[in-house]
Amino acid sequence: MAVLMRVLAPLAIGLMVLGTDASAQSYPTKAVRMIVPFGAGGPADVFARILAQHLQESLKQNFIVENRPGAGAIIGTIEVQKAAPDGYTLLVMSNTHTVNESLNPKRNYELMRDFVPVSPINESDVMMVVNPGIGVKNLKEFIALAKSKPGQLNYASSGPGTPYHMAAELFKAMTGTDIVHVPHKTSGDMRTSVLGGHVQMMFDAITVLAPNAREGKVVALGTSGKKRSTVMPEVPTIDEAGVPGYESTIWLGVMAPARTPQDVVNRLNAEIRKIMARSDVQAAWAKRGAVPMDMTPAQFDKYLRADIEKWAKVVERAGLVKKK
């Protein structure tokens, strides 16, 4: 019997490995849901739909994008948390999620406990704009106005913890200004408020705002990266316009429910990285002001943990921690 067990044990292990590989190769066998916990029309929604189309073509199965906005991305995130860990429900996430780990203790999940990193997608800058009705033409004029009217100007965001919220809070901290936060459910609602003159300022996606800025519907004060945007090179960075050292970007990624099989995670990661490496994808996304990101699941895990730690320090410095 002992001899028989020694013979059969390697065979059993081999069959288990073979079964795992076969599972990865056959995935997906049905439609995959990609939950975007943000409103339609924003960067997460736009890039999720582009990625879904490419994954659909490469994996020969439907990838369906569903928007579930609300509560600073928490509503859609919890929906994915409760889904079966089988690779057929994915979360399209952003630095909103790493910020929420310290900003919102009432979120009912822990990012690195309840989800597994799959792959980053891309990174892009945002743009600071104001409604033309407030009468400023550049960043220095806006800072002077804000300092002359502490607590009287407002800025819009698509919700607490979103990159737009944090970009504004970083701006306030670095300029010593007192501007009131007016959170909205979606980026579309945020946009409507500023375009309509109900709220004075916001940070938003450059590609979305570029037409409005060129038509004079908003005044572009600066972009948030280290270099000028290729989409609107005529607009200075916030750093060069009057706030030295300022930088705040928005990045996107994909996660799955915890306990999703590692072979499925690896398969998705490999396919996404192939898409990110394509020259046509890189060129198309450059026109939208985005740069593809390339990481293994382990590298993305490390990146997420570092980002959680970074934003925890910003949240604490800005006094934004919510009471439990």
* Local mean pLDDT, 10-residue blocks, the chain (324 residues): 50 49 76 94 90 96 95 92 98 94 90 98 95 97 98 93 89 94 90 96 92 96 93 96 93 97 98 95 87 96 94 83 57
Q: What is the pLDDT of residues 28-45, one digit of tens each?
A: 999 999 999 988 888 899
Distance CA 37, CA 48 (A): 11
pTM (2 d.p.):
0.78
Distance CA 270, CA 177 (A): 45
- The amino acid occupying position 79 is E
Q: Would you state the pLDDT for residue 191?
A: 95
Q: Does domain 26-124+250-318 have CATH number 3.40.50.1980?
A: no
Q: Would you state the pLDDT for residue 20?
A: 46
Supply the DSSP string of 248-297, one letter for each residue.
-EEEEEEEEETT--HHHHHHHHHHHHHHHH-HHHHHHHHTTTEEE----H
Q: Would you state the pLDDT for residue 14?
A: 52
Q: Would you state the pLDDT for residue 131?
A: 98
Q: Does domain 125-241 have CATH number 3.50.30.40?
A: no
Neighbours of 278 (CB within 10 A): 12
Q: Would you state the pLDDT for residue 107?
A: 86
Q: Do domains 26-124+250-318 and 125-241 have the same CATH topology?
A: yes
Q: Where are the domains of the chain?
A: 26-124+250-318, 125-241
